[in-house]
Amino acid sequence: EFFQVDSSTQCFHLYDDKKRTWNEAQTHCHDKGLVVARPTDRTAAALRKYIFVENGNGGVWLNAQGDGEKIVWQEDGTEITSGNPLWWPLLQEKWFSNRYCLLLLAYKSNWKSHPNRPYIIFPCSISHRTLCEGPLLFNSHDAFVNLNEKIQLYCGTRSNYVYCVWEKDNQIIRTEDVYKGMYSGISRPVKTTNNQCGIVLNKATIEDQGIWTCKIYTLETVFVGRKNVTLTVNGIKAPLCYYDCGIDYEWVCGTDKKNYQNRCMLKVAACKAQTNITIKHHGVCEVVKDCPGGFIKIEGSWKCFKVWDDEKRNWWEAEDKCLDENSVLAGPTTEVAVALRKRILDTYGDLGGLWLDGIVPGTGIHTEIRLSVNNTNWLRSHHYPSNEFDLCRAMNINQQFIRNYPNASDVSQLHWCTKRGSTLCEVSL
């Protein structure tokens, strides 16, 4: 089921059994013991052509995401610069937030027009095919240490594997930073023969229990393999606190007074903390902090919202306005969307279009866009005949429209991003 493309030593597996969001693709590859693919610059274009020839047209998720300023590969934080020649010509830096992820344009039409430009940014919440990469798994092992004692964790077996990243509970520890003394309590082994990327825990604690993963790279920062070290401290083996929690938004308030996206994530937190955390009540915990001046709060939400109707803006100008006001474009959940819309209508009257967070970048491809009613990022189901131009999410504040469409699934619509409307910003409490 795995395949390779010319000039690449990497092994790939395309999962087109169903389309997944970027986060779902991450989980799917992880469950298979794989990672979402990261092709080299040299092989990306050939990989794109292979996929649409052998498996038909369609976008394919890759393992990079925005961090607010740039697009970075998730394994090591390496930036894909805006000047990279692999970008599709429509790239805009406004798409570099963490809501946007890297997509491989495996379409014959795109290949014909721009054969060497396979990369584009897409909202992570949109579903596409999943491309996993099958890395070499070096020998994993168990390690045991007494509390407060020193232990060495081994990683690296050949001289050409000289760049590594350690992970523990999703915390990334770069070995070069460790060796420069940036991480307290972790140091470099005295001898590094056959252990080029090893680290030393100078004083093991209960929190150090669990699975430490060393990801190994070549000089060209190509991911080639990983090694898992399951560490047991003081004879008590740590549980593996991993569950496929999905991305459902069914918020619960824990007895630790923290909000969890769903019941499963509360369970994961309790497992990692090795303590008993139960559901205090469904919905978010009570918010005691007041909203900033000019912002309004909707019951059941831990966010504050503010309408800017001083001037009409296109979607990108609206995004900039929110950032200038130390906020972001609003993304109301289904639970609060109807109440928020009514509150705005009662306060401001008919505003017409009100920009929200959410964009479907144009790809130049004539295609159909269908957005699920059940997807909390897109509350209104729509069918558009073309995705040639950018489409952005908006809320329609109009009495007649609300009478015709009173439900939560009818709150948001897609409009051309170049249209001008009012702006809705939000801040978190």
**pLDDT tens string 90-117:** 666 667 788 889 999 988 887 888 888 8
Q: Are 193 and 117 in contact (CB under 8 A)?
A: no
* pTM given for the model: 0.38
Question: Which residues is 212 bridged to in the sheet?
Answer: 168, 229
Label residue 157 by pLDDT band (50, 70, 90): low
pLDDT tens-digit readout, 179-207: 677 777 888 887 766 677 788 898 888 87
**Residue 323 to residue 308: CA distance in whole angstroms:** 13
Label residue 332 by pLDDT band (50, 70, 90): confident
Label residue 384 by pLDDT band (50, 70, 90): very low
21 contacts: CB under 8 Å, gap ≥ 6: 124, 125, 126, 127, 247
Report pLDDT for 376.
37
Distance of CA 411 to the CA centre of its chain: 25
272 contacts: CB under 8 Å, gap ≥ 6: 169, 241
Q: Are 89 and 362 in contact (CB under 8 A)?
A: no
Backbone angles phi, psi at 55, to 5 degrees: -130, 5
Backbone angles phi, psi at 353, to 5 degrees: -75, 135
Report pLDDT for 388.
47
**Residue 315 to residue 184: CA distance in whole angstroms:** 44
**Residue 255 to residue 253: CA distance in whole angstroms:** 7
Report pLDDT for 101.
92
Label residue 381 by pLDDT band (50, 70, 90): very low
Residue type, 357: D
Average pLDDT over residues 381-387: 43
Label residue 360 by pLDDT band (50, 70, 90): low
Alpha-carbon torsion (274, 279, 284, 287), positive or negative: negative
